[in-house]
Amino acid sequence: MTAITQAQFEMLISLQNIEFDKIEVQRTLNAVAARVSELENELNAFAEDVEKEKQALQATKALYNDYEEQIQTNDTLITKIEAKRRSVKTEREYQSLIKEEEQLRTRKTQIEDEMIACMDQMETLAETIAAKEKELAQIREQVAADIQSVQEEASTSESRHAELSREWEQMAAGVDGRLLDKFVKVKKQTPDGRALAPVKNAICMACHMNIPPQMYNELQRFDSLKLCPFCFRILYWDNS
Ligand SMILES: [Zn+2]
């Protein structure tokens, strides 16, 4: 058995406390990383949405231009028919041209209606884009501020983490080597990472089993390393 004093036990308890503080700080750091990526995703999703509206506006503009060209083609055809009409020989030919011209004029009216609809749509889209771009600018500013604030929090946590690591090293330097090895080994084997178990009124507080009376008596002397016969943690007497 490793020779041990109550002071050595107290150092082990401190080491364990430092380790759990470090886990807590690491949890904060992980949460910060998750929050930053969540904020970035929100911003990107909104920016994509604005981009989609812009694409819709471009598509409507292209459609409008297309209709304009169709009107020009239509007008050219009407002019040609009017010219032809002056030189036709038969009534049948004349009527056929009249009918063709009517169809072209009907089509022109349809296209003009479509163009009006396009203009309405372009106006609505332009308004939507302007509103969303304004909102996007606000969100971008808010996200930048949020990210800065969580990163400041992270930087505090990072310093704390480094500080705890240094504290652990300093503390560990004062612990008997074999005892420290045992502590590290037991810690790896326990599911909750707690290598130490206080014993109160002859009960292991980690697994709640009764410690044999002989072992309990020895524990109260703080002079040897004892493992719980049930959960295999390092036991120490808690007389509080
Ligand atoms: Zn136990």
Tens of pLDDT along 124-138?
999 999 999 999 999
Q: How far, in Å, from the CA of 215 to the mean position of ligand 1?
A: 12
Query: In the predicted model, what is the mean pLDDT of residues 35-52?
Result: 94
Instruction: Give the pLDDT confidence score for residue 3 in this predicted structure.
Output: 58
**209 CA to centre of ligand 1 in angstroms:** 6
Between 112 and 239, where is the model more confident?
A: 112
| The pLDDT of residue 222 | 87
Alpha carbon distances (Å) from 138 to 131, 143, 146: 11, 9, 12
Distance 237 CA to ligand 1 centre (A): 12
Please state the pTM of the whole predicted model: 0.69
pLDDT-derived band at 1, boundaries 50, 70, 90: very low
For CA atoms 84, 88, 93, 96, give the dihedral sign.
positive
Reported as a pLDDT band with limits 50, 70 and 90, residue 2 is very low
> Is the predicted pLDDT of residue 195 greater than 90, yes or no?
yes
Task: Tell me the CA–centroid distance for residue 181 and ligand 1, in Å.
Answer: 19
- In which band, very low, low, confident or very high, does the pLDDT at 240 lie, cut at 50, 70 and 90? confident
For the segment 61-80, the average pLDDT, to the nearest whole number, is 96
Between 111-115, 136-140, 150-154, the lowest mean confidence (pLDDT) is in 150-154
- Type of residue numbered 151: Q
Model confidence band, residue 85 (pLDDT cutoffs 50, 70, 90): confident
Question: What's the average model confidence in pLDDT over 15-28?
Answer: 93
Average pLDDT of every residue of the chain: 93
- pLDDT recorded at residue 237: 94
Q: Give the pLDDT band (50/70/90) at residue 223.
A: confident
Which domains, and CATH codes, for the chain? Answer: 22-175 (1.10.287.1490), 180-237 (no CATH)
What's the whole-number mean pLDDT along residues 37-44? 94
> How confident is the model at residue 230, as a pLDDT?
96
Q: How far is the CA of 197 from the centre of ligand 1 (A)?
A: 7
> Is pLDDT larger for residue 6 or for residue 206?
206
Share above pLDDT 90 across residues of the chain, in percent, rounded to a whole number: 83
Ligand 1 centre distance from Cα of residue 227 (Å): 8
